[in-house]
Chains A and B, each alone.
Chain A
Amino acid sequence: MQLDSRAPTGPIEQRWNEARFKSKLVNPANRRKYKVIVVGSGLAGGAAAATFGELGYNVSCFCYQDSPRRAHSIAAQGGINAAKNYQNDGDSVYRLFYDTVKGGDFRARESNVYRLAELSVNIIDQCVAQGVPFAREYSGLLGNRSFGGAQVARTFYARGQTGQQLLLGAYQSLSKQIEQRTVKMHPRTEMLDLIVVDGVARGIVTRDLVTGKVSAHTADVVVLCSGGYGNVFYLSTNAKGCNTTATWRSHRRGAYFANPCFTQIHPTCIPQSGDYQSKLTLMSESLRNDGRVWVPKNLADLQRDPKNIPEADRDYYLERQYPSFGNLVPRDIASRRAKEMCDLGKGVGPEVAGVRRGVYLDFGDAVKRLGRDAVAERYDNLFQMYERITGENPYEVPMRMYPAIHYTMGGLWVDYNLMSTITGLFVGGEANFSDHGANRLGASALMQGLADGYFVLPVTVSNYLAGVKPGGVDESHPDVRRTVGEVEARIQRLMSIRGKRTPESFHRELGTLMWDYCGMARTEAGLKFALAKIPELKAEFYGNLSIVGSGEEYNIMLEKAGRTADFFELAELTCRDALDREESAGGHFREEHQTEEGEAQRNDDAFSYVAAWEFTGESLAPKLNKEPLSFEYVHPSQRSYK
Chain B
Amino acid sequence: MARSMNLVLNVWRQKNAKDQGRFVRYDAKAINDHMSFLEMLDVVNEDLAHKGEEPIAFDHDCREGICGSCGMVINGVPHGPAKSTTACQLHMRLFKDGDEITIEPWRAGAFPVVRDLVVDRSALDRIIQAGGYVSVRAGAAPEANSLPVPKLDSDQAFDAATCIGCGACVASCPNASAALFTAAKISHLALLPQGGPERTDRVRKMVAQMDAEGFGHCSSHKECEAVCPKDISISFIAKMNRELITAMSVAPNEIKSRSKG
Binding site for B on A (CB under 8 A): 47, 50-51, 54, 65-72, 74-75, 84, 86, 122, 124-131, 133-134, 136-142, 158-159, 161, 163-165, 168, 171-173, 175-176, 178-179, 185, 187, 210, 239-241, 273-274, 276-279, 281, 350, 385, 388-391, 454-455, 458, 502, 504-505, 546, 548-549, 553-554, 556-557
Contacts and interface: CB of A to CB of B under 8 A. Distances in A.
Given A67-B165, A502-B50, A128 B150 contact: no
Given A210-B114, A548-B55, A175 B93 contact: no
Contacts of A273: 2, 32, 34-35
Contacts of B255: none
Contact of A164 (B43, B66, B115): B66
Q: Is the interface of B mostly helix, strand, loop or mixed?
A: loop
Interface string B67-95: 11100000000000010010001010100
Interface of B: 2, 15-16, 32-36, 38-39, 42-43, 46, 48-50, 52-55, 57, 59-69, 82, 85, 89, 91, 93, 114-115, 118, 120-122, 124-125, 128-130, 132-145, 147-151, 154-155, 157-158, 161-162, 164-165, 188-189, 192, 194-195
A67 B91 contact: no
13 contacts: A50-B138, A66-B122, A67-B122, A134-B154, A137-B151, A142-B145, A172-B128, A172-B132, A173-B138, A176-B129, A179-B130, A502-B49, A553-B16
Contacts of B115: 210, 553-554
A617 to B, nearest CB: 33
Contacts of A171: 128
A549 B32 CA distance: 29
Nearest to A505: B46
Contact of A65 (B15, B33, B69, B154): B69
Contacts of B93: 391
Nearest to B193: A131
A548 B59 contact: no
Q: Considering residues A74, A124, A128, which has the most beta carbons from chain B within 10 angstroms of its beta carbon? A: A128
Closest 4 CB pairs of A and B: A140-B148, A172-B133, A129-B141, A125-B141
Contacts of B85: 388
A544 B192 CA distance: 57
B194 to A, nearest CB: 5
A133 B128 CA distance: 18
Contacts of A164: 66, 162, 164
A75 B192 CA distance: 24
A227 to B, nearest CB: 12
A130 B134 contact: yes
Given A75-B64, A122-B141, 17 more contacts: A51-B138, A65-B61, A66-B118, A68-B125, A72-B61, A75-B66, A131-B195, A133-B188, A136-B149, A136-B154, A159-B158, A175-B125, A175-B129, A178-B125, A278-B36, A549-B54, A554-B115
A273 B188 CA distance: 38
B154 A274 contact: no
A178 B142 CA distance: 25
A141 B60 CA distance: 37
Given A241-B61, A273-B34, A67 B149 contact: no
Contact of B141 (A126, A239, A557): A126
A124 B128 contact: no
